[in-house]
C-alpha cells in the first residue's frame, strides 16, 4: 500500500488489507474475512452442499486450500448442524508428508474435529515414491487414483453423505476450459460445486468453488491458519495448465469478475453436461467390489502390479477395522 494517503476499507474506514476488484471494494482484515465466509456460506446454501444432520468427510492435505476449507466447513457445521470428519492421507513423500501430517493432526485437535489418517506405506506396503519407482508411472496419476479410491472407501464405510475437496476457482476453471477445448464435455459435469452420489461412488462437494487462490491465501494468512508452505515435490509444471491459468488471470485483470461469472454459469449448466456421457455400463471389481469399467478396478490393478496381488479387499478391511476402533462406523 502506498504511504502518504492510506487506502481505507470501503465499509468501515479502517486501513484496507486488500482490494476486491470485481466487487469494487477495498476491505480491511475483518471485512475481508467476513466477505469470504459469507461467500462460502452462500455457496453451501446455493448449491445445497451440506444440510442439517449430514455427515461430511473432508479430505485435508495440509495445504492452505484444504486447511481453509476444513476451517470454514467446521465453522459452518456449527451453524447448520452437520458433522465434519477429516481425512488425511500420508503418502510418504519425505519431509513434505511428515510436516503435512503434523500440521493436520494439530489443527484437527485444535478444532476438536475427528481425524482419520491413512498411512499409505502401512496400508499397502509402499509409499508413493516407491510406487512411482516401481511402476514408472507419473506420480500425480498414481496419487490421484489412490486418493479417489481411498476417499471413496472411507466415505462409504463411515456412511458420509459426501466427501469435501479443497478445489478452488483457479484449480477448476483451467480444467473446465481445457475440457471444453477438447470437447470432453461430460468431464465438465464432474468439475462443478457438487457431484451427486451414484451407485458405488460417494458424491463430492467443493465449498471453495467460487473462491480464488489469492483470496484463500489471504484468508488463511489473515486468519492465522496453520498450513504447509512448501509444495508437493511432484507438483505438475505442465506448461499448458500454467498457460490456461495465466490466460484466465489476464482476462480477470481486464474484466474483473469474469472468472466467477464463468464458474457460476458452468454450475448452472451442469445438468446439461451430465446428459452428455457416453453410455458405459459400470461393472464391479471382482476383488474389492468397487465400481469399475473393467473386471478389476484401477487400485487392484496397480497393487497387483507392484505387490503381486490385488489389495483392494484387504485394504478395505484394514480401513474398516481402523474406523471401528475410532468409533466412526455408523
Ligand atoms: S499430492 Fe499427489 Fe498432488 Fe503431489 S503427487 Fe501430484 S497429485 S502434486 S494434489
Ligand atoms: Zn472494514
Ligand atoms: Zn478392486
User: Would you say the CB of residue 232 lies under 6 angstroms from ligand 1?
Assistant: yes
User: Would you say the CB of residue 300 lies under 6 angstroms from ligand 1?
Assistant: no
Higher pLDDT pick, 16 / 2: 16
CA 248/CA 257 separation, integer angstroms: 11
The 10s digit of each residue's pLDDT in 223-280 is 999 999 999 999 877 778 889 999 999 999 999 999 999 999 999 999 999 898 776 7
Residue (of 45, 65, 59, 260) closest to 167 by Cα position: 65
Residue 130: count other Cβ atoms within 10 Å of its Cβ. 15
Contact at 8 Å (CB) between 74 and 223? Answer: no
Q: Calculate how far, in angstroms, residue 2's C-alpha sits from the geometric centre of ligand 1.
A: 38
The 3-class SS string of 259-309 reads: HHHHHHHHHHCHHHHHCCCCCCCCEECCCCCCEECCCCCHHHHHHHHHHCC
User: Would you say the CB of residue 145 lies under 6 angstroms from ligand 1?
Assistant: no
| Residue 129: its H or E element | helix 128-135
Nearest Cα residue to atom 6 of ligand 1: 140
User: Would you say the CB of residue 235 lies under 6 angstroms from ligand 1?
Assistant: yes
Q: Calculate how far, in angstroms, residue 184's C-alpha sits from the geometric centre of ligand 3.
A: 26
User: Would you say the CB of residue 140 lies under 6 angstroms from ligand 1?
Assistant: yes
Nearest Cα residue to atom 8 of ligand 1: 235
Q: Which atom of ligand 1 is nearest to the CA of 140?
A: 6
Backbone angles phi, psi at 68, to 5 degrees: -65, -45
The 10s digit of each residue's pLDDT in 137-188 is 999 999 999 999 999 999 999 999 999 999 999 999 999 999 999 999 999 9
pLDDT at 2: 47
Backbone angles phi, psi at 26, to 5 degrees: -105, 135
pLDDT at 276: 85
pTM beyond 0.85: the answer is: yes
Integer Rg of the chain from CA: 21
Q: To the nearest whole percent, how much of the chain has pLDDT over 70?
A: 98
Q: Which atom of ligand 1 is nearest to the CA of 63?
A: 9
Amino acid at each position: 500500500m502506498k504511504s502518504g494517503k492510506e487506502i481505507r476499507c470501503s465499509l468501515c474506514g479502517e486501513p484496507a488489507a486488500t482490494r476486491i476488484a470485481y466487487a469494487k471494494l477495498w476491505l480491511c482484515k475483518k471485512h475481508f474475512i467476513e466477505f469470504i465466509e459469507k461467500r462460502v456460506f452462500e455457496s453451501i446454501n446455493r448449491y445445497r452442499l451440506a444440510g442439517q444432520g449430514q455427515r461430511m468427510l473432508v479430505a485435508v492435505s495440509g495445504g492452505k486450500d484444504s486447511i481453509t476449507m476444513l476451517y470454514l466447513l467446521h465453522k459452518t457445521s456449527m451453524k447448520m448442524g452437520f458433522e465434519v470428519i477429516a481425512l488425511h492421507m500420508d503418502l510418504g513423500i519425505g519431509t513434505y508428508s511428515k510436516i503435512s501430517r503434523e500440521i493436520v493432526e494439530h489443527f484437527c485437535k485444535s478444532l476438536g474435529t475427528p481425524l482419520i489418517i491413512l498411512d499409505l506405506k502401512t496400508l499397502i506396503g509402499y509409499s508413493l515414491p516407491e510406487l512411482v519407482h516401481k511402476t514408472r508411472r507419473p506420480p500425480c496419476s498414481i496419487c490421484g487414483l489412490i486418493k479417489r479410491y481411498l476417499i471413496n472407501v472411507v466415505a462409504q464405510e463411515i456412511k458420509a453423505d459426501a466427501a469435501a475437496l479443497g478445489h478452488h476457482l483457479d484449480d477448476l476453471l483451467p480444467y473446465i476450459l481445457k475440457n471444453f477445448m477438447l470437447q470432453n464435455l461430460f468431464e465438465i459435469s464432474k468439475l462443478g460445486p457438487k457431484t451427486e452420489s451414484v451407485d458405488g461412488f460417494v458424491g463430492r462437494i467443493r465449498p471453495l468453488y467460487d473462491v480464488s487462490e489469492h483470496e484463500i491465501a489471504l484468508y488463511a494468512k489473515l486468519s492465522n491458519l496453520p498450513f504447509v508452505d512448501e509444495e508437493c515435490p511432484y507438483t505438475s509444471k505442465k506448461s499448458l495448465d500454467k498457460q490456461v491459468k495465466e490466460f484466465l488471470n489476464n482476462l480477470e485483470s481486464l474484466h474483473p469478475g469474469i472468472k466467477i461469472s464463468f464458474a457460476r454459469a458452468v454450475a448452472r449448466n451442469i445438468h446439461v453436461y451430465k446428459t452428455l456421457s457416453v453410455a458405459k455400463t459400470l461393472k464391479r471389481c471382482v476383488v474389492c467390489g468397487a465400481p469399475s469399467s473393467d473386471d478389476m478396478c484401477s487400485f487392484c490393478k496397480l497393487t497387483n502390479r507392484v505387490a503381486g496381488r490385488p489389495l483392494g479387499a484387504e485394504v478395505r478391511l484394514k480401513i474398516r477395522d481402523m474406523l471401528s476402533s475410532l468409533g466412526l462406523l455408523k
